[in-house]
């Protein structure tokens, strides 16, 4: 009986001390590549995307974006971009990043295009330090528009109702 109570108390202590604790995230260096989640979560405050760290030279933005377009390494993420998509040019003017990509992006419409542009904007803003992203696909129209503009304020990514 004493043995049983001792084991029970030890188990309780261990559970309280370590069972529910989460490992603290280790600081990581590199560039975040944002992609949509393969499986959506509907917990309060959860988002539809996640980022993975890539240790790359942040100077050559076009090359980085081309690597980004190749898709995620993590299995819990999926690529929103069409195959063959390439970055043509990336220019930072003031706090605005202008990104020109190949016309493959124009094959996307509706929510797929919005999701692709949203993830690209988040990645580009972190990569370049810009606050706004203007995306165009050479001369092709994107959902009837010449370009799509996104910034941190016009993207509603999580419904944090208490903050407002």
Partner 1 sequence: MTCAIITGLVLLFLNIYYSEFSHQLFYQNKQSAMISKATLTASELGNADVLTEASVAATINRLGGSDCTRLIVTDAAGRVLYDSRATGESTYALLPQIIRALDGQDLFTCHYVDGVLQSHAAIPIVCYNSISGCVYMMDADTQLGLLLSSLQNAILSISILLEIFLLLFAVFYATRFSRRLRKIMASMRIIQEGDYTHKVSLGGNDELAILGREFDMLSERLQTSENKRRQFVSDASHELKTPLASIKLLSDSILQYDMDPETTKEFVQDIGNEAERLNRMTLKLLALTKGELDGAETDAEIIYMAPTIERVVKMLSAIARESNIHLRLDLRQDSPVLIQEDDLYQIAFNLVENAIKYNVPGGTLTVSLHRQDDNAILRVSDTGMGIPPEAISHVFERFYRVDKARARASGGSGLGLAIVRSMVERNGGEITLQSTVGKGTTFTVSFPRFDINEEVEG
Q: Is 115 in the site for partner 1 (CB under 8 A)?
A: yes
- Distance of closest approach, residue 139 Cβ to partner 1, in angstroms: 21
- The contact mask relative to partner 1 for 18-57 (x = CB under 8 A, - = no) is -------------------x--xxxxx-xxxx--------
Quick one: 40 or 83, whose CB is closer to partner 1? 40
Q: Is 153 in the site for partner 1 (CB under 8 A)?
A: yes
Q: Is 154 in the site for partner 1 (CB under 8 A)?
A: yes
DSSP labels, 20-52: TPPPPPPP--SEEEEEEBSS---STT--SEEEE
Q: Is 106 in the site for partner 1 (CB under 8 A)?
A: no
Please, are residues 147 and 158 in contact by the beta-carbon 8 Å criterion? no
Quick one: 82 or 88, whose CB is closer to partner 1? 82
Q: Which residue has the tokens 């295009």?
A: 113
Adjacent-strand bridge partners of 136: 100
Q: What is the DSSP letter of 130?
A: -
Q: Is 133 in the site for partner 1 (CB under 8 A)?
A: no
Output the six-digit token pair for 108: 């996307």
* Of 20, 21, 55, 156, the one binding partner 1 by CB under 8 A: 156
- 73 phi and psi, to 5 degrees? -90, -30
Contacting range for partner 1; rule: CB under 8 A; set: 1-9, 14-22, 58-66, 133-141: 1-9
Distances 150 to 8, 9, 30, 98, 125 between C-alpha atoms, Å: 55, 55, 23, 11, 10
Taking residue 143's Cβ as centre, other Cβ atoms within 10 Å add up to 13
How many whole angstroms separate alpha carbon 158 and alpha carbon 135? 23
* Of 56, 92, 140, 155, the one binding partner 1 by CB under 8 A: 155
Residues forming contacts to partner 1 in the complex (CB under 8 A) are: 1, 5, 8, 37, 40-44, 46-49, 109-111, 113-115, 118, 143, 150, 153-159, 161-162, 164
């Amino acid at each position: 009986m004493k043995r049983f109570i001792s084991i029970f108390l030890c188990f309780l202590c261990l559970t309280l001390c370590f069972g529910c604790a989460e490992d603290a995230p280790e600081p990581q260096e590199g560039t975040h590549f944002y992609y949509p989640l393969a499986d959506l979560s509907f917990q309060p405050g959860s988002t539809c995307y996640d980022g993975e760290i890539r240790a790359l030279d942040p100077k050559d933005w076009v090359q980085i974006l081309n690597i980004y377009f190749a898709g995620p390494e993590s299995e819990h993420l999926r690529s929103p971009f069409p195959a063959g998509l390439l970055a043509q040019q990336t220019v930072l003017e003031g706090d605005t990043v202008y990104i020109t990509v190949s016309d493959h992006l124009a094959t996307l419409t509706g929510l797929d295009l919005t999701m692709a542009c949203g993830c690209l904007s988040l990645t580009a803003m972190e990569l370049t330090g810009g606050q706004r992203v203007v995306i165009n696909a050479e001369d092709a129209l994107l959902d009837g528009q010449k370009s799509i503009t996104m910034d941190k304020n016009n993207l509603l990514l999580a419904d944090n109702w208490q903050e407002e």
